Structure 1
Amino acid sequence: MSIKRIEPGKRMSGAVVHGNTVYLAGQVGEGSTVTEQSKSALAEVDRLLAAAGSDKSKILQTIIYLSDMSTFGEMNAVWEAWIDPANPPARATSGAPLATPDYLVEFIVTAAV
């Protein structure tokens, strides 16, 4: 089976397609609030999924990290407005320190192609 790397860089690729599955690197967004960062990061998820020939209706699993679990409801409001309600993926959310203090939320997505 072939492996296709989307936006490969020195440290990682934006996404990797293997077989009928696409694995996205963790997506963080811009902005000063969890709402802003979630919207920005999920727009990047949309963009990378499209580059792989997929879309949010084909997401299999999402892992979400929040730097502060008190923002869970704020992130969920953005998530619920964005996700395809007919095709919700398996999902886990956890609190964890992220790569920099500026990052408040990170989305890791695996989808079918």
Structure 2
Amino acid sequence: MSIERFHTGHRMSQAVVHGNTVYLAGQVGEPGASVTDQTKKCLEQVDALLAECGSKKENILQAIVWLADMNDFAEMNAVWDAWVPQGHTPARACGEAKLATPEYKVEFIITAAKD
């Protein structure tokens, strides 16, 4: 079975497709922006990468969300709830973690099926 890599750098690829499964690297927003704006940017990037890999948000199998501060849970969820297609919600986990830089407030890691 082949492996396709998208936007590959020296450290990681933004997306990897193996068979009919799409794996996205952690998506972050603009450093220092609000949780709302960072979440919107992350999900825009998820949409674009999934489309490039032959998938869509309705095919998301699992979402892992890291927040720098769990006090931002409701703010992130307000954006997520408006974006995620009802009836196609994935398995999801959300936790608090120290992200790559203090300016990042949220990160999304997505696994999806191809169309």
TM-score using structure 1 length: 0.98
Partner of 1:36: 37
Identity in percent: 63
Partner of 1:4: 4
- Cα deviation for residue 96 of structure 1 reads 0.5
Runs of at least 4 residues of structure 1 off by over 2 A?
Answer: none
Query: Runs of 5+ in structure 2 lacking a partner?
Result: none
Query: Which secondary structure does the structure 1 equivalent of 2:16 belong to?
Result: strand
Deviations 1:31-53 (A, max 9, x none): 52100000001000000000100
Residue 65 (1) aligns with residue 45 (2) = no
How many pairs are equivalent?
113
Deviations 1:27-79 (A, max 9, x none): 00115210000000100000000010000000000000000000000000000
| C-alpha distance in 2 between matches for 1:32 and 1:15 | 24
Partner of 1:15: 15
CA RMSD of aligned residues (A): 0.7
Residue 54 (1) aligns with residue 58 (2) = no
Query: Which secondary structure does the structure 1 equivalent of 2:85 belong to?
Result: coil
TM-score using structure 2 length: 0.97
Query: Runs of 5+ in structure 1 lacking a partner?
Result: none
